[in-house]
A = this chain, B = another copy of it.
């Protein structure tokens, strides 16, 4: 047994077999159950070559693993970014130069800006969007831009303003000290959004405290108290005429590795604990110590939400607060005598939707970076004896498409039609499961289309897939087309199987994307002009980004 497998569990290895029989290539889901594996599992043979470990299992199954799987991880895994291991803990002074923020229009237009905002929420616990239209229900659009609204008994959204008959302190003008919302709910909403429609009040500023930082300080300064708060179940309760909620959770929740994972902090809704007096004393001493830490001035980040600002924050980490204000009239008496009106709309959402949106944005940015690398690296190489490099060829094809007013997806297909050449050389995965027609070297079109399918829809990938077949089609139906081929292209036509038969041509014309593939083909053929003035990859990047989004 090699070092690679000697240091790995057999069931782990088999459970992670990446073959298409074991794992759905579309979504990576495993296609077997752990109990399907034999009770006596062994390795019959194994070899290592080309950066891969190939294993023949005792039950006859074959698996291939990339060897880099067996390298030691370089650093602690931030994992799912839910525990403190995936966060950057902060104090107010860390934002002396400004808080994480972006203009709503930039956030919408620029995926990088959007990713930066969402990453701030994930790692720091909050971000502020500015210049969000100050109209009712807009907060729901903000939530929908990265995730899903969590509806509660307060409704889809809630209004934070002075109410004549409030069922919650939030709907008064008194100061509210740092707390998390809805600890009596389980699962508790992990994100909160507060969108300021109007804030003409004197006072009514916002405050945030990093609850993970406060918990970490408690752990350092009073480890026994920290322990008490992680293991004491606190009954959080809320009750009015229409609802009655209760959740028994610790103030500080740690994961099985002991890492801080969630903080709940809200004296308003702590119910009556039923424990022996000694445990109550220990709990209240620890709770008061923790509460005092959350009030330390160096932890209080204060800022003001003005009309159009939307604060997004982690409700299982950050405590939020509000200073008192002079109410300028309630929702029933819109014109106040003293002070100005203050009106926020809020809603709840969840971290998992935000994390998924961020992961997809990151994946797409990485895809664009990878394509850009290809154009600027390997793509600069000679192109089968043509007068242009491969990158110039593809950029020219895209420029031609754009000049003719082609829709974005065809500009992209023209730009990317030959990327299969690069992936073929570098891919660790063979082209699988797809029948290549005998004797036809159109492998690069399929390789390219398959790889692009991770990022783009069929409107981009299918013209790429069919662009070699389109050449054979055109040679069959347009004699003049064949006459115009470059010498290199005429040469490869033979390798690719020659012109289609009339039956093949008729079948091709029926395929979805055939017309688009023919269009791409014509730009492909025309894009071999030496020293043409062609825009670089950067020019097309926003267009590609839009198609990815």
Task: Decide if A272 touches B69 in the complex (CB within 8 Å).
Answer: yes
Is B352's CB under 8 angstroms from A247's CB? yes
Say yes or no for A243: interface residue by CB 8 A criterion.
yes
A26 at the interface (CB under 8 A from B): yes
Do B356 and A244 touch across chains, with their CB atoms under 8 A apart? yes
Let me know if A11 and B235 touch, CB within 8 A.
Answer: no
- A151 contacts B153, CB within 8 Å? no
Of B33, B187, B269, B288, the contact of A267 (CB 8 Å cutoff): B33
- Which residue from chain B places its CB closest to the CB of A256 in the assembled complex? B231
A525 proximal to B (CB < 8 A): no
Nearest B residue to A316 by beta-carbon distance? B187
A281 part of interface (Cβ distance < 8 Å):
yes
Q: A12-B273, A256-B230 are in contact. Are A28 and B237 (CB under 8 A)?
A: yes
CA distance A238 to B353 in the complex (A): 12
CB distance from A380 to the nearest CB of B (A): 30
Copy count, this protein chain: 2
Closest to A233 in B: B256
Q: Does A148 contact B (CB under 8 A)?
A: yes
Q: Does A45 contact B (CB under 8 A)?
A: no
Any chain B CB within 8 A of the CB of A307?
Answer: no
* A187 interface neighbour in B190, B242, B244, Cβ under 8 Å: B190
| Contact residues in B for A284 (Cβ distance below 8 Å) | 9, 11-12, 15, 34
- Given A26-B240, A35-B295, A168-B29, does the pair A274, B80 have CB atoms closer than 8 Å? no
Contact residues, A1-47 vs B (CB, 8 A): 7-9, 11-12, 15-16, 24, 26-35, 37
Contacting pair B247 A288 (CB below 8 A): no
**Per-position contact with B for A242-285: 1 when CB-CB < 8 Å, else 0?**
11111110100001110000000001111011100100110111
The answer to whether B270 and A30 have CB atoms under 8 Å apart is: yes
A454 to B350, CA, bound (A): 33
For the complex, is A489 an interface residue (Cβ under 8 Å from B)? no
Q: Could you tell me the distance between the alpha carbons of A107 and B284 in the complex, rounded to whole angstroms?
A: 44
Q: Which residue of B lies closest to A85 (CB)?
A: B248
Cβ-based interface call for A351 (8 A): yes
Contact partner, A34, options B267, B269, B281, B453, Cβ 8 Å: B267
Contact (Cβ within 8 A) B16 A272: yes
Contact A351 B27 (CB under 8 A): no
Let me know if A352 and B270 touch, CB within 8 A: no
Q: Which residues of B lie under 8 Å from residue A533 when comparing CB positions?
A: none
**Are B79 and A235 interface neighbours, CB within 8 A?**
yes
Whether the pair A79, B187 counts as a contact (CB closer than 8 A) is no
A115 contacts the other chain (Cβ, under 8 Å)?
Answer: no
Is A504 at the interface (CB under 8 A from chain B)? no
* Contacts beyond the supplied A11-B284, A233-B257: 17 A-B pairs with Cβ under 8 Å: A8-B280, A9-B284, A12-B284, A15-B284, A26-B167, A27-B239, A28-B238, A28-B239, A34-B284, A35-B177, A79-B233, A80-B246, A82-B248, A148-B152, A187-B187, A233-B255, A241-B454
Q: List 11 A-B contacts (CB under 8 A).
A: A11-B284, A15-B284, A26-B240, A34-B284, A35-B288, A77-B274, A79-B233, A80-B246, A148-B150, A187-B190, A241-B454
Question: B-contacting residues of A (Cβ < 8 Å)?
Answer: 7-9, 11-12, 15-16, 24, 26-35, 37, 69, 73, 77, 79-80, 82-83, 148-153, 166-169, 177, 185-188, 190, 230-233, 235, 237-248, 250, 255-257, 267-270, 272-274, 277, 280-281, 283-285, 287-288, 291-292, 295, 350-353, 355-356, 359-360, 363, 453-455, 457
